[in-house]
């Protein structure tokens, strides 16, 4: 159901965006960016629809080792390597991010948007809201 919703939303935006793409050659085109903060249930459901999710825990390695969402990779937002790590990710595939309570993942999401990622899904409330 959610996948159908995302497809419908993307199709609607795509059709509406076709008109403005061909305006002027020197005008920069803007990509449609989808940013969502989903509660734990919604996040889990959306993640389950992905065949090869880009799922990132942006907490410290110590926090990551204490427990994380299955399949998550640790990209510590605070250690200065996050920006470099973004260069190795697929900007056109959905990126799922979370931290402890939502602050760092919100900042990570903003950085991802700024770097041109098109779909970012942030776990609202962070790992603290994830069912154990």
Which residue in 55, 46, 33, 43 sits closest to 125, CA to CA?
A: 43
C-alpha pair distances (Å), 49 with each of 25, 35, 75, 124: 38, 17, 22, 18
Alpha-carbon span 72 to 21, nearest angstrom: 36
What tokens were used for 77?
């937002």
99, 120, 121, 123: which is the annotated catalytic residue? 99
Active site residue 99: yes
Active site residues: 99
């Amino acid at each position: 159901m959610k996948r159908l919703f995302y497809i419908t939303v993307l199709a609607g935006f795509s059709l509406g965006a076709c008109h403005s793409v061909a305006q002027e050659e020197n005008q920069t085109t803007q990509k449609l960016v989808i940013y969502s903060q989903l509660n734990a249930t919604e996040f889990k459901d959306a993640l389950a629809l992905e065949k090869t999710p880009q799922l990132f825990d942006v907490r410290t390695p110590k926090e990551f080792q204490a427990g994380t969402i299955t399949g998550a990779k640790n990209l510590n937002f605070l250690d200065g390597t996050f920006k470099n790590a973004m260069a190795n990710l697929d900007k056109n595939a959905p990126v799922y991010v979370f931290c402890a309570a939502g602050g760092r993942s919100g900042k990570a999401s903003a950085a991802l948007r700024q770097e041109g990622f098109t779909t970012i899904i942030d776990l609202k409330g962070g790992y603290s809201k994830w069912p154990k």
